[in-house]
Structures are given as C-alpha cells and as structure tokens.
Amino acid sequence: MQLVKIPLTLDPIKAAKMRSTYEGRIDNAQLSRLLDASAGFCSDIQVQFSCDTDEQGTVIVTGHAQGEVSLTCQRCMHEYKQSISVEFCYSPLTEKFKEDDIPDIYDPVDVDENGHIAIAELIEDEFIVSIPFFPMHDVEDCSVEQDYTLGEIDESVEERPNPFAVLQKLKK
C-alpha cells in the first residue's frame, strides 16, 4: 500500500475539533537529521496519530511511528538495520494551556506563529533519541561472539574417536 505523506506541520486545535486522524509516512528525504544520526540509511517513517481533546479540554495528539535506520554495531563494527518504533502524546502550549496546566502524561510542545506544531520534526526527534547510545547487533546476528571461552576450549572434541573409525572397527 502506498502511504500518503503526512503534513509536516498541523494546527492541533483545529484538528482536535475535527477529531482528525492521520495515517501516512514521512518521506526519508525530509529526515536529514535522522540520516545524520544513522550510519547512512534511514527509511521512510510510517506514522499514525489522532487529534482530540481530553476531559479537561487539553488538546492532545497521540500516535505511534515505525521506521528503520542503519547503525554501526559497536561490537563487530559492521553496519546493521535497526527498526525503531516510538509512541507519542503531545499537547500544544497555547495561551490557555501553559506548561503547568498540561498533565505530566503529555509532552508539551511549542506552536509556531500560525498555531501549528511541527509534527514531522517532533517525530524525527523521537527517532533520534531512540537510537541506542551503544548500538549493537542481537547476539545471534553479531559476527563477534559474545562470550569468549579462550583457554577453556574443550579438547575432548579432538580426542573423541572418529565415528567412522569406530564403525570400521565394528565391521571387522
């Protein structure tokens, strides 16, 4: 399915009045900061979110997003693809709703001079902070083994009789 691009900015108050929901993508061409934070690749980000007003009248924009970036494994120094998914719950800072009025469960976000929030940029930020400080492959995918057992190599492997030799003996 070809996902439509979500708007880069949106008027959350207007969208909340209309209870708008969005499903789409942020084109990776828009994600230069995320690309810089990766090892050279980031996918489009798939996004789903809805705008609404809670019982207190706080405008909220809640949703989730997924994408993939390339990172350099800090154990084997090879590149790998890491999928990232984030959840968010934003509340715009307005004249009526200052930072102290917004419940802690929401992330207060600034609006621009048109009352818009930079939704695509906010989601890109979520991805950037989700990149692990020390990226590493899953152990089973990494070319460097997690547990070295140097000096503890089981020598009995070499001393074990060749099963074919045993068969040969049995045949005699």
What's the closest the beta carbon of residue 109 comes to Zn ion, in angstroms?
36
Which residues in the 11-50 window bind Zn ion by CB under 5 A? Answer: none
Cα 14 from Cα 71, distance rounded (Å)? 38
Cα 26 from Cα 122, distance rounded (Å)? 11
Q: CA angle 75-79-83, nearest 5°? A: 100
Considering the complex, state which of residue 33 and residue 78 has its C-beta at the smaller distance from Zn ion.
78
Considering the complex, state which of residue 87 and residue 141 has its C-beta at the smaller distance from Zn ion.
141
Phi-psi region of 146 (alpha: psi -120 to 50; beta: other; left: phi over 0): alpha
Stretch that binds Zn ion, among 4-12, 76-84, 102-110, 151-159 (CB under 5 A): 76-84
Is 75 a binding residue for Zn ion by CB under 5 A? The answer is yes
What's the closest the beta carbon of residue 148 comes to Zn ion, in angstroms?
15
SS3 category, 82: strand
The site for Zn ion, by CB under 5 A, has a size of: 5
What's the closest the beta carbon of residue 67 comes to Zn ion, in angstroms?
21
Q: Which residue has the tokens 């979500």?
A: 6
Asked if 152 and 44 touch (Cβ cutoff 8 Å), the reply is no
Question: Which x/- pattern, by CB under 5 A, does the window 134-163 give for Zn ion?
Answer: ---x----x---------------------
φ/ψ of 137, rounded to 5, equals -55, 160
Q: Which spans of this chain sit near Zn ion (rule: CB under 5 A)?
A: 73, 75-76, 137, 142
